[in-house]
Chain A
Amino acid sequence: MSSVRVLAGTRKGAFILTSDGKREKWDVSGPHFGGWEIYHMKGSPADPNRIYASQCSGWFGQLIQRSNDGGKTWEPVGNKFTYDGVPGTHQWYDGTAHPWEFKRVWHLEPSLADPDTVYAGVEDAALFRSADGGQTWQEVAGLRGHGSGPRWQPGAGGMCLHTILLDPHDPARIFIAISAAGAFRTDDAGVTWKPINRGLKSQYIPDPEAEVGHCVHRIAMHRSKPNRLYMQKHWDVMRSDDSGDSWQEVSGNLPTDFGFVIDVHAHEPNTIYVVPIKSDSEHYPMEGKLRVYRSRTGGDEWEALSDGLPQSDCYVNVLRDAMAVDSMDSCGIYFGTTGGQIYASADSGDTWSAIVRDLPAVLSVEVQTLP
């Protein structure tokens, strides 16, 4: 029988939850790396026992940890992230030029085919790649070489490259997103990149339809339809049907279209999930009710999912990397909150329960479906 492994990164360590295919009883291991911030953990699709973790602290900087046994044991690997050439400047919060400085790794994306190849999205925004299991890292310099870098600026969380989507049908195609620069795509394995932000409208930048400068919070893709992308922007839920060349708003009847996460059902490319958050200055659900919204039509028409979720006095946030899906026959949906709960649904979102609660604030959630 298949089993499921949930990888949760939190403000004070990593936790790994495992269950059989029924997903009713969960074993919790952790904290791993107790006291350290774990921004993200992700397993290799080519070897699920190979897991990478981003471990960092304001005191001691960035480390990358690697496991070869599904998270039972770990070893630190390379943590030297050096920008290619002269790093240059981006915009600071006040619009002045600010030098590029490495701060941390937000997201790790292992190759679909090779367990030793892994991408890292970092703050200040850049994409790095390792082909030796994380021992050494090289910047994929074409991204910042696009030339728009001086116009990129940090969001409230920092200028982070937080989303990396590898096209399962075309190894040369990668999508990334940066807050607050926008989305970018390469079609030549990272040599050249172009911004893919046409159709985005952001009232908080001088030109609301600028080529770059948009605060994209998250992008999601279904592996059977990689030309269709879904985006949760600072405000607005967006969809592209042409690999990001153009976007249309699909917020539809959402009660608020601010939020951080967005994800796609494992078996239904038109079924998507968001967690609406009240506003950019009030990072909690509306009316104290935690609700996931599901669209079965690729956006525009949304239904609230609340069965099993707190419906009063709930003021947590769900951060951008803290939602994931499993690929069991009945698709499981998972998300973590800043209040330390991880909620799961084994029936595509119809009903929910907390599979763990009272962890440190959850920064990221990934799920592995194991044979």
Chain B
Amino acid sequence: MLPAHLRSLAKAGSEVMLEIDGPVTQRSVLDALEEQYPMLRGTIRDQVTGKRRAFVRFFACAEDLSHESPDSALPEPVATGAEPFLVIGAIAGG
């Protein structure tokens, strides 16, 4: 699930379905997302370091996964598509 500004940039709906071969991790999800929507490169994580942007957080299954390793497995319901992986823009500023 994408924040509004990234939805309009990608011309996508609020929820994007991704096919992922292999382990479902933050990295593999974002790799697949950027492959499908190249205009999102650099908007969620740094293009060189791969580091999550400071005002972006990752939530799933009522948990904040922002500080988990990008290569840790995401919860099973996310991998099966039952629950969304949420990319959230911080509630901050005007």
Binding site for B on A (CB under 8 A): 35-36, 57-63, 76, 79-80, 82
The secondary-structure label for the interface of chain A is: loop
Q: How far is the CA of A79 from the CA of B39 in the complex (A)?
A: 9
Partner of B53, one of A36, A59, A63, A82: A59
Chain A residue with the shortest CB-CB distance to B90: A59
B56 at the interface (CB under 8 A from A): yes
Contact A35 B5 (CB under 8 A): yes
Contact A63 B43 (CB under 8 A): yes
Contact B53 A61 (CB under 8 A): yes
Number of interface residues of B (CB under 8 A): 19
Contact A79 B48 (CB under 8 A): no
Contact B42 A79 (CB under 8 A): yes
B43-72 interface bits toward A, Cβ cutoff 8 Å, 1 = contact, 0 = none: 110011000010110000000000000000
Partner of A60, one of B44, B47, B48, B92: B44
B82 at the interface (CB under 8 A from A): no
Contacts of A76 in B (CB 8 A): 9, 39
Contacts of A60 in B (CB 8 A): 5-6, 9, 43-44, 53, 55-56, 89
Contact flag A62-B42 (CB < 8 Å), given A80-B47, A82-B48 = yes
Partner of B39, one of A35, A63, A80: A63
Contacts of B3 in A (CB 8 A): 59
Contact A59 B9 (CB under 8 A): no
Partner of B56, one of A59, A79, A80: A59
Q: How far is the CA of A35 from the CA of B9 in the complex (A)?
A: 11
Q: How far is the CA of A60 from the CA of B48 in the complex (A)?
A: 15
Contacts of B56 in A (CB 8 A): 59-60
Contact flag A59-B41 (CB < 8 Å), given A80-B47, A82-B48 = no
B34 to chain A, nearest CB (A): 12
Q: How far is the CA of A57 from the CA of B8 in the complex (A)?
A: 14
Contact A58 B6 (CB under 8 A): no
Binding site for A on B (CB under 8 A): 3-6, 9, 39, 41-44, 47-48, 53, 55-56, 89-90, 92-93
Contact flag A59-B39 (CB < 8 Å), given A35-B5, A36-B5, A80-B47 = no
A10 to chain B, nearest CB (A): 13
Partner of A61, one of B4, B42, B90, B93: B42
Q: How far is the CA of A59 from the CA of B93 in the complex (A)?
A: 10
The secondary-structure label for the interface of chain B is: loop
Contacts of A36 in B (CB 8 A): 5
Contacts of A63 in B (CB 8 A): 9, 39, 42-43
B47 to chain A, nearest CB (A): 5
Q: How far is the CA of A58 from the CA of B54 in the complex (A)?
A: 9
A211 to chain B, nearest CB (A): 32
Chain B residue with the shortest CB-CB distance to A35: B5
11 contacts between A and B (CB under 8 A): A35-B5, A59-B3, A59-B89, A60-B44, A60-B53, A60-B89, A61-B42, A61-B53, A63-B9, A76-B9, A80-B42
Instruction: With a 10 A CB-CB cut-off, give which of A57, A59, A61 has the most chain B CB atoms.
Output: A59
Chain B residue with the shortest CB-CB distance to A77: B39
B13 to chain A, nearest CB (A): 18
Contacts of B89 in A (CB 8 A): 59-60
Contacts of B9 in A (CB 8 A): 60, 63, 76
Q: How far is the CA of A63 from the CA of B44 in the complex (A)?
A: 12
Q: Name 12 extra pairs, CB < 8 A, besides A58-B55, A58-B92, A59-B89.
A: A59-B55, A59-B90, A60-B43, A60-B55, A61-B43, A62-B42, A63-B9, A63-B39, A76-B9, A79-B42, A82-B47, A82-B48
Q: How far is the CA of A236 from the CA of B6 in the complex (A)?
A: 43
B50 to chain A, nearest CB (A): 13
Contacts of B42 in A (CB 8 A): 61-63, 79-80
Contact flag A59-B47 (CB < 8 Å), given A76-B39, A79-B41, A79-B42 = no
Q: How far is the CA of A35 from the CA of B5 in the complex (A)?
A: 8
Q: How far is the CA of A36 from the CA of B93 in the complex (A)?
A: 12
Chain A residue with the shortest CB-CB distance to B46: A61
Contacts of A62 in B (CB 8 A): 42
B89 to chain A, nearest CB (A): 5
Contact B93 A58 (CB under 8 A): yes
Contacts of A61 in B (CB 8 A): 42-43, 53
Q: How far is the CA of A80 from the CA of B47 in the complex (A)?
A: 7
